[in-house]
Structures are given as C-alpha cells and as structure tokens.
Amino acid sequence: MIWPQRSLITHRELAGPGALEPHLWAKLQFLSEPLCARCGAAFEIAVEPGQVCAACIADPPAYERARAALVYGDVSRELVLGLKYQGRRDGLTLLGGWMAGAGKELLAEAELIVPVPLHYFRLVRRGFNQSGWLAAALAKSSGVRLSVDALKRVRATPIQGGLSATGRRRNVQGAFRVRGMAKRLVKGKRVLLVDDVLTTGATAEACTVALKRAGARCVDVITLARVAGPRSIAI
C-alpha cells in the first residue's frame, strides 16, 4: 500500500508512515460489529448475528445491505471534504482499502460496481465525481467490473445538508435512471453501489430503485462513512 506523504487533512508533510497525524488518527472511528445486518448501523450492545435494527424492521430499505468503513464525524468529514472539494486523490488507495475491508462480503459477491452519479452540471463544474473515484479504487482492488456511468442523475437536486429525513427522500425520489446503454449490463446482476457518505440512506434508496427497475437482481451499498445511528436520523 502506498502511503500519502502528506496528511490527508492538514496537507502537512508527515514524519512517519501513516495518512494522518497521530492525534487525528486517534479520532477516526472505524465501524465494527455488532452492526445491523441490513443497513450497517452500529448496535451499542452485543446482538445475534444477522440481527436487523428497528429502523430496518419498520421501513426495510430497497437495498439488501449497506456497509461503511467509518463513522461520519469531525475527522472523517474532513476526509470526505478533501475528496469532494479539493479533489485529493492521494488517499484513494487507502480509503478504498478501508471500504473493501468493511464491505468484504458485499464485494466478494458483487458482479458490477456502480457509483452514485453527480448531475451533469455539477460534474462539469467540479470536474470529477468523488464517488466514481472510490468505486474505481474498489473495482481495481477487487477485479469486479466497474461501470462509472450506468446511473444518471436526471434531476439536479439541491444539496441535502439541512434537510430532514423525509425531505431528503422527497428530494432524490426519481432523480436517478439507468442509462439505456447500461441496461444490459445491470440486468440480472448483483450490483454494488458506491458513495462517499450514507446519512439517511435516501440517495442509496433512490439509486437502488432505479437499478432494480432496470433489472438488477440485488443491490448492496458501500460508503466511506455513515452516520452512526439509525437511518432516520438526519444530520
């Protein structure tokens, strides 16, 4: 594994191996079992394997399983912002490795990797899709086929921050489609959807619905980070 020479957050040169200064590293929270078998939310107490959280029982997601490497917090937020707004690529192998570790069962069964797309205008303005980069890193390390543009955002949606869980769901409903030319690729496949952060799960849900409408057999989700609590909590 190639370690970045500069801190992924402060951009300062690091004295030793590692991606972050030790005090920032110590604040990163890696998600680990016990987790909800469906959405990957952390349980605070030990549970039977295969246990599903209350939110997933009350309102089962369209995707089969979601997993994330990190709890979305102060340090992981900086990592995501570095990817998204500064276009830092030097940490991709490392971040992709964390994601592959967190979702190794999902990755082992995946037949096609698809990132959550940006709307065309946002893609043009930013010049890249950070979820596409993460998806490419996962595809490269696993050998699973990648389709960076199987999904298309057909509606430009306002930035989700500040919206309630219901607001987010409404915001992205019907915002995604599988491109005509990708339908053959998606049909009958177990698709692994990749995004940077899972908050309420509304985006993952809307993408899953679009993939299933195009004939995907099943959809799993891997993100770099996710909110620690149940899906209904909006941040």
Does 36 engage in binding with Zn ion (CB under 5 A)? yes
Closest separation in Å from C-beta 200 to Zn ion? 12
Question: CB-wise, 38 or 67, nearer to Zn ion?
Answer: 38
Report how many residues bind Zn ion under the rule CB under 5 A.
6
Residue 199 tokens read as 């908050």
Does 221 engage in binding with Zn ion (CB under 5 A)? no
Question: CB-wise, 41 or 135, nearer to Zn ion?
Answer: 41
Question: CB-wise, 53 or 221, nearer to Zn ion?
Answer: 53
Lay out the site mask for Zn ion across 38-57 (x = CB under 5 A, - = otherwise): xx-x-----------x--x-
Closest separation in Å from C-beta 194 to Zn ion? 19
Collapsing DSSP to helix, strand or coil, 145 comes out as coil
Match 């029982």 to its residue by tokens.
Answer: 57
Closest separation in Å from C-beta 104 to Zn ion? 19
Closest separation in Å from C-beta 142 to Zn ion? 24
Could you tell me which of 191, 202, 208 has the C-alpha nearest to residue 231? Answer: 202
Collapsing DSSP to helix, strand or coil, 142 comes out as helix
Give per-residue burial for 82-96: e unless 16+ CB within 10 Å, then b: bbbeeebeebbbbbb
Residue 131 tokens read as 């979820």
Question: CB-wise, 54 or 181, nearer to Zn ion?
Answer: 54
Which of these ranges, 37-45, 70-78, 98-106, 173-181, lies near Zn ion under the rule CB under 5 A?
Answer: 37-45
- Residue 78 host element (H or E): helix 74-86
Question: CB-wise, 52 or 154, nearer to Zn ion?
Answer: 52
Residue 221 tokens read as 């989700």
Task: List C-alpha distances in Å: 141 to 82, 108, 128, 234.
Answer: 22, 11, 20, 32
Q: Which positions touch Zn ion (CB under 5 A)?
A: 36, 38-39, 41, 53, 56
